[in-house]
């Protein structure tokens, strides 16, 4: 007998505040057969912890596929972890079980889901439930419009070169610099060089208990920040333009 294969569903759980989980995400998580998510070396998962209320509200305990992801810039290790994770997920899908992959923020915006999607999409039906991104949550936390009228807006990240970051700072009215942790002191220097220090604000762990907002970035240590951190750069005279 042919078993109908399960669906691989990327579910965005938002940036941190559990109340920013969508109703659709809640419903799918609560009724999931199999949940998957990335973990760090201690087995902690940011995405799972954001969704914990929905997981706890489930009537039956879902099976879990934690995928350990080494937090190193070494791409080959990450690729191996995604290969292994995709194999384990595929086994459940072959048995006809849907697999819900929990993804911090939105699954298709710098989301780990995308790397599993490219490994599974040729063989299985895949779906996505969008989530609120850290960019939207940052703007909301600051009560700061990102773009108005004809202003341009760009998302870049701390792994871009100095030249790329300086060009973007010169070209765009507003920007978000993601993955700022390792690059924090370099970004502060580049903001200074570009004359954009006064436009910049820094946020870490948005929506979590340890959230930090630094409105004057000259107060930041010239040191690494945590992985969950970003800069918002937007003109102060926004509203008058
Ligand atoms: C792999 S990307 C994931 C982005 C996520 N899918 C989203 O939609 O926002 C990780 C980067 O997103 C940013 N980020 C995600 N969640 C954050 C949070 N709660 N607070 C601050 N930055 C966050 C950080 O810049 C971090 O390095």
What pLDDT band is residue 239 in, cutting at 50, 70 and 90?
A: low
Q: Does 73 have pLDDT greater than 80?
A: no
HEC assignment per residue over the chain: CCCCCCEEEEEECECCCHHHCCHHHHHHHHCCCEEEEEECCCCCCHHHHHCHHHHHCCCCCCEEEEEECCCCCCHHHHHHHHHHHHHHHHHHHHCCCCEEEEECECCCCCCCHHHHHHHHCCCCEEEEECCCCHHHHHHHHHCCCCCCCCCCEEEEECCCCHHHHHHHHHHCCEEEEECCCCCHHHHHHHHHHCCCHHHEEEEECCCCCCCEEECCHHHCCCCCCCCCEEEEECCCCHHHC
Ligand 1 atom at minimal distance to the Cα of residue 134? 9
Whole-number Å distance, alpha carbon 57 to ligand 1 midpoint, is: 26
pLDDT tens profile 191-236: 999 999 999 999 999 999 999 999 999 999 888 999 999 999 998 7
The residue behind tokens 């060009």 is 167
Domains of the chain: 7-129 (3.40.1010.10), 134-240 (3.30.950.10)
Rounded CA gap, 150 and 20, in Å? 29
Whole-number Å distance, alpha carbon 62 to ligand 1 midpoint, is: 26
pLDDT tens profile 105-125: 999 999 999 999 999 999 999
Mean pLDDT of the chain: 94
Q: Are strands 229-233 and 174-178 parallel, antiparallel or unpaired?
A: antiparallel
pLDDT at 240: 52
Ligand 1 atom at minimal distance to the Cα of residue 131? 8
Rounded CA gap, 39 and 78, in Å? 12
pLDDT tens profile 130-159: 999 999 999 999 999 999 999 999 999 999
Whole-number Å distance, alpha carbon 3 to ligand 1 midpoint, is: 38
Whole-number Å distance, alpha carbon 7 to ligand 1 midpoint, is: 26
Residues with CB under 6 A from ligand 1: 15-16, 104-106, 109-111, 133-134, 178-180, 203-207, 227-230
Rounded CA gap, 90 and 137, in Å? 33
Ligand 1 binding pocket mutation candidate from 38, 134, 155, 211 (most atoms within 8 A of CB): 134
pLDDT at 2: 78
| The model's pTM | 0.94
- C-alpha closest to that of 151 among 239, 61, 39, 25: 239
Nearest alpha carbon, ligand 1 atom 5: 105
Ligand 1 atom at minimal distance to the Cα of residue 230? 25
What pLDDT band is residue 74 in, cutting at 50, 70 and 90?
A: confident
Whole-number Å distance, alpha carbon 228 to ligand 1 midpoint, is: 6
Whole-number Å distance, alpha carbon 60 to ligand 1 midpoint, is: 30
């Amino acid at each position: 007998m042919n078993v109908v294969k399960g669906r691989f569903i990327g579910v965005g759980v938002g940036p941190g505040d559990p109340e920013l989980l969508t109703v659709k995400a809640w419903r799918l998580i609560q009724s999931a057969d199999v949940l998957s998510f990335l973990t760090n070396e201690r087995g902690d998962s940011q995405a799972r912890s954001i969704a914990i209320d929905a997981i706890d509200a489930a009537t039956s305990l879902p099976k879990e596929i934690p995928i350990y992801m080494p937090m190193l810039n070494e791409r080959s290790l990450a690729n191996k972890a995604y290969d292994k994770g995709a194999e384990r997920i595929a086994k459940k899908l072959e048995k006809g079980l849907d697999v819900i992959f929990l993804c911090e923020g939105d699954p298709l915006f710098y989301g780990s889901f995308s790397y599993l999607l490219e490994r599974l999409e040729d063989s299985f039906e895949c779906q996505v439930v969008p989530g609120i991104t850290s960019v939207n949550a940052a703007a909301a936390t600051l009560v700061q419009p990102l773009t108005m009228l004809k202003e341009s807006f760009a998302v870049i990240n701390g792994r871009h070169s100095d030249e790329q970051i300086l060009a973007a700072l010169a070209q765009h009215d507003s920007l978000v610099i993601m993955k700022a942790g390792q690059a924090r002191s370099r970004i502060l220097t580049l903001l200074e060089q570009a004359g954009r220090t006064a436009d910049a604000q820094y946020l870490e762990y948005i929506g979590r208990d340890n959230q930090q907002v630094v409105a004057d970035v000259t107060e930041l240590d010239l040191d690494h920040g945590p992985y969950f951190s970003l800069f918002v750069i937007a003109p102060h005279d926004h509203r008058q333009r």
